[in-house]
Amino acid sequence: MSEPSTRGVPIELRKVTKAFPGGRAPAVQELDLTIAAGEIVVLVGPSGCGKTTTMRMINRLIEPTSGDILIDGRSSRDIDPDRLRRHIGYVIQQAGLFPHMTVASNIAQVPKLLGWDRRRIAERVDELLTLVGLEPSTFRDTFPRRLSGGQQQRVGVARALAADPPVLLMDEPFGALDPISRQRLQDELLRLQDDLSKTIVFVTHDIDEALKLGDHIAIMQRPGHIVQYARPAEILTNPADAYVEEFLGAGSSMRLLSLTKVGDIELDQVPYAAEDADAREVLAEMERDGRGYALVLDGMRRPLRWVTTAHLKGREGPVGTTGDEISGSIGRRKTLQDALEELLNADTDIVPVTGRHQAYEGALSLATVQNAIQSIKARERERRMLRLGREEGG
Amino acid sequence: MSLSTAAAERETIPEPRIGRSWHVVLPPLCYLAVAAAMIAYTQMVPLDGIERGSLNLPFVLRRTWEHIRLVFFSTVLVLAVALPLGIVLTRPGLRRVTPYALALANLGQAIPAVGMVVLLAVLFRIGFWTAVAALFAYSLLPTLRNTMVGLEQVDPRLVDAGRGIGMSAVGVLAKVELPMAVPVILSGVRTTLVLNVGTAGIAAFIGAGGLGDLITAGVSTQRNLVLITGCVLIAVLALILDWLGGLAQRLLSPKGLS
């Protein structure tokens, strides 16, 4: 990238209320929400819960009836709404691309409003298209109608990022996509966010999307208030009330699996050896370990074979090529859910886990996964007790 | 970083070519040929004195020119009023008065054209501008209504997207709403044009000239050739202007819509 991108800034909503004329109850009621810089915060809830209204008040597409919204410490009331919005990326469902403008022209709108010169805009457009995974020379001059839904949404994200805003608002951006494109775009959003660290406010009614994307999740309830604002793991392990529980539905442990990365839990350690290691020494180590098997690694520490005491008994010299080839391995960046799938399909009860360059890092068995989930739950419970204690004390 | 994995999810299909070849100009050439044949015929057959008075070339050309002027000025007037009015009436704050404005425009078209011309002539005076005013009142509706419909049918999400990325209300109107509405607006203008060509024939009743002169003269003197010549020339003019309107619609409509 040519220029370092602008990092996210904190956003704070203070007692924000929105009452629409003619509406019975206010759409949003005295809402307090603090969003840390560089986080993805997902507003999630059923339709009519005020999540979109809340989001649209941040860029003043809807003016709050009362209360204050601070963006990087500045009240949004003090900034001209049009200027404010040029520095807040905005992505909506089905992208909202202008159909009569080319892809490049769509992306160029905000830089044009900001008065960038042509060359800088053209460079920026190509850079953004590459960033969102679209080949500039192919897509620059096409019209949105010619793109698939997923491609349109990529352009939508590129347009929102055009002027490198610190804040991004996304209103059900992937809602209209098929499940495969949707999942792919979610993954890419997370990967982009790793690099960009924008502050992203994301609205969805899909709790799984919220759990996957959110650093924090605000679960909202009609009319217009937040029931629980917490990290995904905490929401899963400690839903604030029956409403949240109902909204989460069944399968919170399964969801916890999909939230946790293999590399984040404590792995099994098994005896391992290189091919040229002395068989008798390896056998001795296996007996010390007690499980009766070991992993054979190649010169780059990549797992090759499992050997058991039966393989090595009475063998002289190096371990060599004896043993059973491993049926697969699990990358440390995989989620526990994927790992579980691998485990269930594997020929062995235990599967090696690999890190960078497929090098051995540990091993995983069903028991390891179970222990991990239990310890996560215990940790969350402990955190909650601590916080409750603090709240009572202070 | 680059995520080129999904870059070529689907190859883009090339834009369809807009037909710009010679057969685009075929229809107007045919229309002109018909008009030329009609005029040539009237110049060759033996005519009596009354017919000669109405069918000599300078007279016919002058009447045609008057007709074109009537259509031109009334259409320009319609554009000058209907476009701004249509824009204003579709702005959120003014939606309340929209039904009344449309009722008024409907009234203009509901009154029989002849009645309107005569009424205006009685109220004001006989002549070219009175005829233009009558044509204006009569043909305002299609352009006005299409301007409004064209603007209203723009996907509200596009307006939202425009405002959301920091365009001003005027910016969204100029860059998003109006371009998107162009095809519908132009089809309204086209209707106005054709309507004006036909109705301008009535201008002859209040001495505003035009090809209607040939028709009224043909009727009152029972000279069918004069009557038919007037009709044919008006029809040809209407067809040519409609073709021009179609051409404008095609050239001015934003690419990427259909």
ipTM of the complex: 0.75
pLDDT-wise least confident of A2-6, A100-104, B81-85, B90-94: A2-6
pLDDT value at residue B131: 86
What is the average per-residue pLDDT within B225-240? 91
Distance from CA of A26 to the nearest CA of B (A): 22
B242 within some domain: yes
B31, HSE (Cβ side, Cα atoms, 13 Å): 18
Is pLDDT at B53 greater than 80 in this prediction?
Answer: no
Average pLDDT, chain B: 84
Q: Which structural domain range is residue B193 located in?
A: 27-249
Is pLDDT at A298 greater than 80 in this prediction?
Answer: yes
- Which residues does B contribute to its contact with A (CB < 8 Å)? 1-10, 12-13, 15, 157-158, 160-168, 171, 175-176, 179-180, 254-257
Q: How many domains does chain B have?
A: 1
> What gap in Å lies between CA A45 and CA A51, rounded to an integer?
7
What is the average per-residue pLDDT within B22-49? 85
Q: Which two tokens stand for residue A265?
A: 């839990």
pLDDT band at A387 (very low <50, low <70, confident <90, very high): confident
Of 3.40.50.970, 3.40.50.720, 3.90.1520.10, 3.10.580.10, the CATH number of A251-393 is 3.10.580.10
pLDDT value at residue A393: 64
- Choose between A139 and B6: higher pLDDT: A139
CATH number at residue B209: 1.10.3720.10
Residue with tokens 């916080």: A387
pLDDT band at A54 (very low <50, low <70, confident <90, very high): very high
For chains A and B, CB pairs below 8 A equal 107
B254 within some domain: no
CATH 3.60.21.10 fits A11-249, yes or no: no
pLDDT value at residue A347: 85
Q: Per the CB < 8 Å rule, is A159 touching B165?
A: yes
Name chain B contacts of A87, Cβ cutoff 8 Å: 166
Q: Where are the domains positioned within chain A?
A: 11-249, 251-393
What is the average per-residue pLDDT within B145-163? 92
Is pLDDT at B7 greater than 60 in this prediction?
Answer: no
CB atoms < 10 A from the CB of A130, how many? 18
Q: Per the CB < 8 Å rule, is B166 touching A86?
A: yes
Is pLDDT at B6 greater than 70 in this prediction?
Answer: no
Q: Per the CB < 8 Å rule, is B166 touching A148?
A: no
Name chain A contacts of B6, Cβ cutoff 8 Å: 133, 150, 154, 184, 188
pLDDT value at residue B85: 92
pLDDT value at residue B16: 47
Average pLDDT, chain A: 89
pLDDT value at residue A373: 86
Distance from CA of B179 to the nearest CA of A (A): 8
> Which of A109, A130, A159, A177 is the best residue to mutate to test the B interface, defined by the most B CB atoms within 10 Å of its own CB?
A109
Sorted by sequence, the CB contacts under 8 Å of residue A354 that are 6+ apart come out as: A302, A303, A329, A330, A331, A332, A360, A361
Name chain B contacts of A201, Cβ cutoff 8 Å: none
Percent of chain B with pLDDT over 90: 34
Distance from CA of A1 to the nearest CA of B (A): 7
pLDDT band at A99 (very low <50, low <70, confident <90, very high): very high
Name chain B contacts of A189, Cβ cutoff 8 Å: none
B64 within some domain: yes
pLDDT band at B114 (very low <50, low <70, confident <90, very high): confident
> Which of A100, A107, A153 is the best residue to mutate to test the B interface, defined by the most B CB atoms within 10 Å of its own CB?
A100
Distance from CA of B247 to the nearest CA of A (A): 19
pLDDT value at residue B21: 63
Q: Per the CB < 8 Å rule, is A98 touching B9?
A: no
> What gap in Å lies between CA A140 and CA A155, rounded to an integer?
10
pLDDT band at B2 (very low <50, low <70, confident <90, very high): very low
pLDDT value at residue A291: 85
What is the average per-residue pLDDT within B33-52? 84
